[in-house]
């Protein structure tokens, strides 16, 4: 693991992926540690003065961004292979800078640990993908119930514990919505609070359970994680730990969907089947065959798939993070499909780009879409406007006829490490091309001596491609 984001990264928005579609995928893809879980575990490490070792860490730009934030607060951070060791003994600051936090939604998780440990915290409002308002009202409301005074000015949330010796006070909190971020923030804050905290209508996602697992390994007293009611009995301090991040269910789902779109047989491992039950059910409903093998799953896809209806929901429902990739798959299925997004109000930005590839998608307002499958998508230049939209366009490119150019890689690389290299290993014809390289260079890199016409592809070095 390198976490290149800790250094000056390549200007990712000036690179593209070139994909020659209609190639069968075959072999095995390894699933990395869960990004959404790892970010919360890194924040939790700030609760202890002792070192916390996190194993199975994904090598992603978001992870590097969180590491930078923690180092700026005085914590130690270093890599040992696929593990990261975080040392909270030097934590001295409680106010991460806006420049470091503005592009990382998970940075707001830090308000819980900083407030619990210091009694005070100042954290800028979160950034990340522009897929919705991502309010922090539930976070703030819960911290206020625990005795924190909350104020907001110039986009910065300031919190100060008003209890004895600057400690938060345990209480009963009801979340109006089972927000994963709020559940994790409040659970971390409650570990060092005085007395018992009860979170009602808590999020039940696997990432919440993983965070609880780390916190319990660090000495926290937590019951009920994975259910709608979580009880946390506060302790005076937490100690160090050695803990492995769970496999990324969203990455695993992306690989399975990619195999279905390419009408292929692929083994994906490791996979915790219970974390993907809603997705697996939809794939089987469409006609895919999925069987357990070792620690993973093998998917076999027939030549034709059937459309279906899906609605995103909090876990254990269909995950919002796989809605865009699944819509790319539905675009190639026979018949009509209907997609309803209920988690984020602006998560259909990929529709316009899929339409450019020939997908027949009609939206109803901002949260629903009718997808009528087409026999074949066509490769064209497209841009991923957010992380999962970018993944959807890669999947569409794998299924499309011709060459697909995917931009917006600064979004893709936030959640998928070296995706093109891993897809190459199972037969995909995909390569990353810097903007300074010409279309002819892209042809050689992708196809060798294969005679493919790139006449319709703009030359990136001439600035002809949108947003690149």
Chain CA centroid to CA 159, Å: 27
CA angle 202, 205, 211 (to 5 degrees): 85
Q: What is d(CA 111, CA 136) in angstroms, rounded to the nearest whole number? A: 11
The DSSP string of 273-331 is GGGGHHHHHHHHHHT-EEEEETTEEEEE--S--B--EEEB-STTSB-GGGHHHHHHHHT
Greatest CA separation for the chain: 74
Q: Report the Cα–Cα distance between both ends of the chain, in Å, rounded.
A: 28
Q: Are the beta carbons of 201 and 173 closer than 8 angstroms?
A: no
CA–CA gap between residue 436 and residue 428 (Å, rounded): 23
**SS3 track for 341-404:** CCCCCCCCCHHHHHHHCCCEEEECCCCEEEEECCCCCECCEEECCCHHHHHHHHHHHHHCECEE
Cα(372)–Cα(358) distance, integer angstroms = 11
For tokens 């804050």, name the residue.
Answer: 189
Nearest Cα to Cα of residue 253 among 235, 231, 273, 239: 273
Catalytic residue among 129, 288, 308, 465: 129
Q: Where in 46-112 does DSSP place strands (E)?
A: 51-55, 76-80, 83-87
- Known catalytic membership, residue 129: yes
Which residues does 173 contact at the CB level (< 8 Å), separation at least 6?
Answer: 141, 142, 145, 146, 186, 197, 198, 199, 200
Q: Hey, which residues are catalytic here?
A: 129
């Amino acid at each position: 693991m390198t976490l290149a984001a800790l250094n000056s990264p390549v200007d990712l928005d000036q690179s593209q992926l070139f994909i020659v579609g209609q190639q069968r995928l075959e072999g095995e893809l390894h699933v990395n540690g869960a990004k959404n879980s790892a970010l919360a575990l890194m924040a939790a490490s700030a609760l202890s003065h002792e070192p916390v070792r996190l194993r199975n860490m994904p090598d992603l730009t978001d992870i590097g961004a969180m590491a930078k934030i923690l180092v700026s607060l005085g914590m130690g951070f270093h890599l040992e292979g696929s593990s990261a060791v975080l040392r909270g003994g030097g934590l001295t600051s409680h106010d991460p800078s806006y420049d470091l936090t503005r592009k990382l939604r998970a940075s707001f998780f830090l308000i819980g640990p900083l407030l619990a440990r210091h009694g005070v915290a100042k954290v800028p409002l979160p950034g990340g993908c522009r897929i919705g308002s991502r309010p922090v009202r539930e976070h703030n409301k819960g911290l206020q119930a625990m005795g924190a005074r909350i104020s907001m000015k110039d986009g910065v949330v300031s919190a100060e514990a008003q209890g004895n010796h600057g400690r938060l006070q345990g209480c009963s909190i009801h979340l109006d919505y089972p927000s994963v971020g709020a559940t994790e923030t409040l659970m971390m804050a409650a570990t060092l609070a005085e007395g018992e905290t009860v979170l009602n209508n808590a999020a039940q996602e696997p990432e919440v359970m993983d965070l609880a697992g780390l916190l319990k390994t660090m000495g926290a007293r937590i019951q009920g994680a994975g259910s709608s009611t979580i009880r946390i009995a506060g302790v005076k301090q937490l100690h160090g730990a050695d803990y492995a991040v769970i496999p990324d269910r969203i990455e695993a789902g992306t690989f399975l969907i990619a195999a279905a779109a390419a009408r292929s047989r692929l083994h994906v491992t490791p996979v915790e089947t219970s974390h993907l039950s809603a997705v697996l059910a939809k794939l089987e409903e469409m006609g895919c065959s999925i069987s357990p093998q070792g620690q993973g799953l093998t998917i076999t896809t027939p030549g034709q798939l059937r459309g279906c209806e899906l609605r995103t929901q909090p876990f254990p429902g269909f995950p919002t993070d796989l809605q865009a990739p699944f819509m790319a798959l539905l675009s190639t299925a026979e018949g009509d499909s209907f997609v309803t997004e209920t988690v984020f109000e602006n998560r259909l930005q990929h529709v316009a780009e899929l339409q450019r590839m020939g997908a027949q998608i009609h939206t109803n307002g901002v949260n629903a879409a009718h997808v009528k499958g087409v026999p074949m998508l066509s490769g064209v230049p497209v841009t991923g406007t957010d992380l999962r939209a970018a993944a959807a366009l890669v999947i569409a490119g794998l299924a499309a006829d011709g060459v697909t150019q995917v931009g917006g890689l600064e979004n893709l690389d936030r959640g998928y490490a070296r995706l093109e290299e891993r897809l190459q290993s199972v037969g995909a014809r995909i390569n990353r091309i810097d903007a300074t390289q010409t279309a002819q260079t892209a042809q050689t890199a992708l196809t060798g001596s294969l005679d493919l016409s790139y006449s319709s592809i703009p030359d990136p070095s001439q600035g002809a491609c949108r947003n690149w």
